[in-house]
Structure 1
Amino acid sequence: MQHSSKPVLFAALLGAICTTLAPAMASDIVPTPKQSRSVLIKNATVHTVSQGVLSNTDVLIENGKITAVGPQLTSQANSATAETSDTQVVDASGKHLYPGLIALDTSLGLVEIEMSRPTVDNAEVGYINPQISTATAYNADSELIPTIRFNGITHAQIVPSGDGIAGQSVLVDLDAWTIEDALTPSAGQFHVYWPQIKRMPEDEKKKAKAIEKNQQAIDQLNIAFEDGYRYFLSDKASGKDNKDEDPQSATNNLRWQAMLPLYQGKATLFAHADSVGQIEQVIALTKKYQFKLVIVGGYDAWRLASSLREVKAGVIYPHTLSLPKRKDEPVDLPFKIPSLLANAGIPFALGFSSDWNSRNLPYAAGYSAAYGLTPEQALKSITLDAAKLLGVEDLGAIAVGYQGSVVLSEGDILDPMTNKIEAIWIEGRQIDLNNRHQQLYQKYLKR
């Protein structure tokens, strides 16, 4: 009888924890229904990204797509509608219209409260997990999402954390009921965290042991990629699904089956690596298997420009607001690296490796504009260039045929002093800008 009370006590405790955490894990902001009315935004300063900045320009959005861009659009501008009773007309005189920003390398929707383990689901147990997708854990109802999009971010790449082959990421829009609603079609995205010795011990024995352990981790990755390649060759030769092989190898089959798009050239390898040594090892792996490659981190990527150009690799750089990684480096080097990448001719985009803090993405781009990038390059690095690295061709610019995901701001979206977001449309639907921060501000304003 004594031990019979333990399940009851455990259930009560678990219930109490869930009850306590539930309000913190769900947003009360209702997603906007699919666009039903055309949207005509008039007289804006339009930052097209692809065609420069256009003054006093109108933008027409219909059925989730941009259908016209130009001055004084009327009903004749498109075969559908413009200024009719079925059109939402927005006077944007004196205001700036931008493409929706794309936050790369985030754990948004996977982490709610960093210090509360039950609300953290950004990593899986194990070292080789190519079959894992963040889509299975993404919380479209996260309380953090409305606070992120308030700064003009309409889409985010949801990335798994961990060591080794951590799994696959997805691209989502930030106004949805479920992951099915949120998913934005993009190329496959596999993530590998390349091993590194974070801090080399001074003791010779400990140093040798750290080097050995690091090499073992690298060898384990090389074996996994070779196994995946052999499975790819077998699948290609047989011309049929290999899932029905020996049941004892079912786990391995699940892994290597998931990796087939990577070897087929239909997916991209996102390799998290910063140092010259790490990046060189990743490039060697890429050459061996002919992977499409994006370096995530890329602190030293500008030093290996010719090698990266040779394999046509891109870079997601998330360290703009970080300190230098080495004691003898200039304190402002992390701010300058985006311009060094641009000058080296390496395709790149800015990321922000965080959950709630990814809201600072536009300001990180603003810093890079103050340290070598032009404002146009900085904006492009978090819109069109970000979309291209994800294999998305109709996102990140204001042009005919692109998604109607745009942001209306009173000032410069990259400047925290003048940026004032007034409206956001995601695929033509105007979203609610209310969020937890706004609610708390109004609450304590009345105290």
Structure 2
Amino acid sequence: MRHLTQIMAVGLGLVSSSLLAHDMVPAKPQSQAIVISNARVHTVTDGVLANTDIRLEAGKIVAVGTKLNAENALVIDATGKHLYPGLIALDTSIGLVEVEMMRPSNDSYEVGQSNPQLLAVSAFNPDSEIIPTVRVNGITHAQVVPQGKALTGQSALVSLDSWTIEDALVATPKQFHLYWPTMGRLSHDDEKRKQQVEQYNQQREAIKTALQDGYRYYLAANANKINKIDNRWQAMLPLYQGQGQLFVHADSSEQIEQAVAMITPYQFKLVIVGGYDAWRVAEQLNEIGASVIYNHTLSLPMRKDEPTEMSFKVPKLLKQAGIPFALGFSSDWNARNLPFAAGQAAAYGLSQDEALKSITLDAAKILGIDDMGAIAVGYKANILLSSGDMLDPLSSKIEAVFIDGRQIDLNNRQQQLYQKYLKR
């Protein structure tokens, strides 16, 4: 991949435009008040309210209650239906990957191991064909994350209905990503095993060196003694200044403990991504106020001797351990299964409300956002109207999606093909 700042031009030059652009027109800004009446409202912050109205104005929720004033408003009767907050998909490559098997359409990673200055969102394609297929399952926003080794760059939160990258961006604190090295299964051969351990230690040492270099640059910046700008460490200054977060991708207890030990001296705001064993090291994580994005809810167990349902139970274990967490889904097109991952977590220990919160309000909080992820006055009008339980793949049917009060076109390539072949 070329530098992420050049990605859009490269992708457009190498991939057919028919693969890059859907033909759903982004909705216009909300110009008329909307009242959705008589719904079963899943507020996330105040439980579930039966036969309740909400009023949307200028992209915000301005009222929640019964028999709300509908003057000069478009009224939508939602009797017998459910209202949910829009879902926030964490740790995705939506808009960075179009066709997984086509290298020119995969802009999710960069070469090298110290690229904190790179912005994944510079490669985001708001016209991706994948986006309409994801939002039809209720996902209104996605965290677009760079992949790779060690320090891979910065992620961003985007709206899934926009004309341009600038339109899509949602303001959040800076988000830096660090992929902790993995060693895999050790070889039975002594020499090969020694090489594996050495390579792992070298990778850890490289991360340590990078963090130290960044810290020295930060000290020099504070003392006005920088003689030559280094784009890598210049980009990381907000992290050392406490104005950003470090997302460390790690799963095993050993990885997480090593990451915490190395990072704690810098007092970074830490989020563990993956976090399969995070509940096992809850004391260390809670001590430094770390959060977790758990993304294995629909995966097989990490170890052969674990129960088959182990991956499903981890959200409950995180909850019991008192670790702030949200559910993620590390994918592009497959991120549309996020609500069903939450449903699976609910089937294995979380309550329905906790499961919904883990993909809405808790996801927003981890990203440092305080006006998304709930149906409450003052929150952004990111709303889903469903005729069934959104967390249940058998009954879920999203009928309408609103992003900032704008009703979104739910047409997509799959529906178009379905209609096409009905006529065959």
Calculate the TM-score normalised by the size of structure 1. Answer: 0.91
Equivalence for 1:116? 102
Secondary structure of residue in 2 paired with 1:169 = strand
Equivalence for 1:105? 91
**Is 2:285 aligned against 1:308?**
yes
Asked if structure 1 preserves the Cα contact closer than 8 Å seen for 2:15 and 2:105, the reply is no
Equivalence for 1:160? 146
The match for 2:199 among 207, 213, 224 is 213
Secondary structure of residue in 1 paired with 2:16 = helix
**Is 2:126 aligned against 1:148?**
no
Aligned counterparts, 1:249-268, within 5 A? 250=229, 253-268=230-245
Asked if structure 1 preserves the Cα contact closer than 8 Å seen for 2:386 and 2:400, the reply is yes
Aligned counterparts, 1:17-56, within 5 A? 21-56=16-51
**Is 2:220 aligned against 1:225?**
no
Asked if structure 1 preserves the Cα contact closer than 8 Å seen for 2:276 and 2:294, the reply is yes
**Is 2:374 aligned against 1:397?**
yes
Secondary structure of residue in 2 paired with 1:187 = strand
Equivalence for 1:79? none
Shift of 1:282: 1.2
- Code of the residue aligned with 1:339 in structure 2: it is K
Asked if structure 2 preserves the Cα contact closer than 8 Å seen for 1:188 and 1:266, the reply is yes
**Displaced runs of 4+ in structure 1, greater than 2 A?**
17-21
Asked if structure 2 preserves the Cα contact closer than 8 Å seen for 1:83 and 1:89, the reply is no
Asked if structure 2 preserves the Cα contact closer than 8 Å seen for 1:189 and 1:268, the reply is yes
2:159 & 2:326 partners in 1: Cα distance? 18
Secondary structure of residue in 1 paired with 2:313 = helix
Deviation digits for residues 325-371 of structure 1, max 9, x if unmatched?
11110010000000000011000000000000000000000000000
Aligned counterparts, 1:249-398, within 5 A? 250=229, 253-398=230-375
Query: Gaps spanning 5+ residues in structure 1: where?
Result: 1-14, 75-81
State the identity %.
Answer: 61
The match for 2:71 among 76, 83, 91 is 83
Query: Gaps spanning 5+ residues in structure 2: where?
Result: 1-9
Asked if structure 2 preserves the Cα contact closer than 8 Å seen for 1:286 and 1:311, the reply is no
Note the aligned Cα RMSD (angstroms).
1.3
Secondary structure of residue in 1 paired with 2:171 = coil
1:51 & 1:237 partners in 2: Cα distance? 48
Q: 1:280 to 1:31 in 2, by over 3 A?
A: same
Shift of 1:18: 5.5
The structure that has the greater radius of gyration is: 1
Shift of 1:199: 2.8
Asked if structure 2 preserves the Cα contact closer than 8 Å seen for 1:190 and 1:268, the reply is yes
- Code of the residue aligned with 1:110 in structure 2: it is L
Asked if structure 2 preserves the Cα contact closer than 8 Å seen for 1:187 and 1:391, the reply is yes
Calculate the TM-score normalised by the size of structure 2. Answer: 0.96
The match for 1:421 among 398, 406, 410 is 398
1:282 & 1:402 partners in 2: Cα distance? 35
Shift of 1:42: 0.5
1:19 & 1:232 partners in 2: Cα distance? 39
Secondary structure of residue in 2 paired with 1:73 = coil
Asked if structure 1 preserves the Cα contact closer than 8 Å seen for 2:61 and 2:380, the reply is yes
1:41 & 1:53 partners in 2: Cα distance? 15
Equivalence for 1:92? 78
Asked if structure 1 preserves the Cα contact closer than 8 Å seen for 2:15 and 2:104, the reply is no
Shift of 1:285: 2.3
Equivalence for 1:58? 53
Q: 1:20 to 1:310 in 2, by over 3 A?
A: closer
Asked if structure 2 preserves the Cα contact closer than 8 Å seen for 1:351 and 1:382, the reply is yes
Asked if structure 2 preserves the Cα contact closer than 8 Å seen for 1:286 and 1:292, the reply is no
Deviation digits for residues 380-420 of structure 1, max 9, x if unmatched?
00000000000000000000110000000000000011111
Shift of 1:20: 6.5
Deviation digits for residues 14-71 of structure 1, max 9, x if unmatched?
x9x9587220111111100111111111110000001100011111111111110011
1:35 & 1:199 partners in 2: Cα distance? 54
The match for 2:173 among 184, 187, 190 is 187
Asked if structure 2 preserves the Cα contact closer than 8 Å seen for 1:42 and 1:59, the reply is yes
Equivalence for 1:235? 221
